[in-house]
């Protein structure tokens, strides 16, 4: 039985979400009207997972999330709006420790609950099994116990791995790095990309499962955190070294061959691929234009199996694939499927992936 605490200041939302989860045989549900009540309920109810509204009076979603993660860490799924402001706040929440988020439908929630509800149930089930890293915000948790207030989260240094199991990729021009992620992906992308130099030799293309209103803010956020130049792919572009290209949400990102070199372009989502931007479609289109031994694939945290099939094929054709290790993945779905399929050249913790990539693409 999954013990779920629903936190929302809207009586209608509490009623609708309570009914959605009450209809599932594996949930026990409690509700809270605001952040203060949520903290009291967490201590009494001891939930396995919490859904937390971003916008609440008094102790808002971010402040409540801070208290949860610093005092009694628990998997949290944020409920956010699809606006640009909502996206920025949600990405901030993911950086503070939230496991995942679901964007609320626009318009009348009561009319959209049949579509919105199953997606939320799926994400909450996955979050209930999510792995919270013991070291996440550890310094702040210690400070909060002694001082009673959270402080800014320090950026963690990456401890580079000295060991490697895959062959070194030849130093040839025209190579590309493909990255796939889903649940837990934005903070993982931060950890990976912030450790790469601005003159990294190959372009990096990212398929991060997200709604279309969130990938632009994600690209801008990463651009401010990394030495690399980061942009969202909203139109066809020529790929350049030292640049990261984030696929637009609710669509796919594909690799093309242009007169000036390799390119990336947005493409309408395809029914053969249930998650978007699709990692499998990204890799498939890359293999159509680039020799496999000039591709490095990285599959990071996320539920499902997107990317496992295509990256296994890529490795069989001579490419190198890195899978995030189970101990650092929020959800070891996508990278775990790659490992089980025999498609991972290297399995490495998140804090060593950048070092492995720099070893392969010096």
Q: Is 145 helix (H, G, I), strand (E, B) or coil?
A: helix
Is residue 276 within 8 Å of 249, Cβ to Cβ? yes
- Rounded Cα distance between 321 and 308, Å, is 10
Helix/strand/coil percentages in the chain, nearest 5: 40, 20, 40
Is residue 73 within 8 Å of 132, Cβ to Cβ? yes
Is residue 97 within 8 Å of 136, Cβ to Cβ? yes
User: 61 phi and psi, to 5 degrees?
Assistant: -60, -45
Which residue numbers are catalytic?
182, 209, 306
Is residue 183 within 8 Å of 99, Cβ to Cβ? yes
Burial class of residue 173 in the structure, from the number of CB atoms within 10 Å of its CB (0-12 exposed, 13-18 middle, 19+ buried)? exposed
* H or E, element range at 65: helix 61-71
């Amino acid at each position: 039985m999954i013990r779920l605490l629903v936190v929302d200041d809207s009586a209608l939302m509490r009623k609708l979400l309570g009914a959605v989860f009450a209809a599932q045989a594996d949930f026990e549900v409690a509700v809270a009207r605001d952040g203060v009540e949520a903290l009291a309920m967490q201590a009494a109810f001891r939930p396995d997972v919490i859904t937390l509204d971003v916008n609440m009076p008094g102790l808002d979603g971010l402040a409540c999330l801070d208290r949860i993660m610093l005092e009694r860490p628990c998997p949290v799924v944020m409920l956010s709006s699809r606006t640009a402001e909502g996206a920025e706040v949600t990405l901030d929440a993911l950086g503070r420790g939230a496991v995942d988020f679901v964007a609320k439908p626009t318009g009348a929630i009561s009319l959209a609950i049949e579509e919105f509800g199953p997606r939320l149930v799926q994400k909450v089930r996955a979050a209930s099994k999510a792995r919270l890293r013991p070291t996440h915000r550890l310094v702040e948790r210690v400070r909060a116990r002694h001082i009673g207030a959270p402080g800014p989260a320090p950026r963690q240094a990456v401890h580079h791995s000295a060991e490697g199991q895959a062959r070194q990729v030849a130093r040839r021009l025209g190579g590309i790095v493909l990255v796939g992620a889903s649940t837990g992906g934005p903070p993982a992308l931060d950890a990976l990309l912030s450790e790469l130099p601005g003159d990294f030799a190959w372009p990096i293309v990212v398929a991060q499962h997200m709604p279309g209103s969130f990938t632009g803010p994600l690209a801008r956020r990463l651009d401010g955190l990394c030495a690399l130049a980061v942009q969202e792919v909203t139109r066809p572009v020529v790929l350049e070294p030292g640049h990261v290209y984030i696929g637009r949400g609710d669509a796919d990102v594909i690799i093309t061959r242009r007169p000036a070199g390799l390119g990336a372009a947005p493409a309408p989502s395809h029914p053969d691929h249930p998650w978007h931007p699709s990692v499998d479609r990204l890799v498939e289109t890359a293999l159509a234009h680039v020799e496999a031994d000039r591709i490095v694939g990285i599959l990071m945290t996320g539920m499902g199996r997107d990317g496992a099939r295509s990256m296994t094929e890529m490795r069989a054709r001579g490419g190198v694939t890195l899978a995030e290790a189970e101990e650092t993945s929020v959800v070891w779905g996508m990278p775990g499927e790659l490992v089980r399929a025999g498609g991972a050249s290297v399995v490495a913790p998140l804090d060593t992936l950048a070092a492995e990539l720099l070893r392969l693409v010096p």
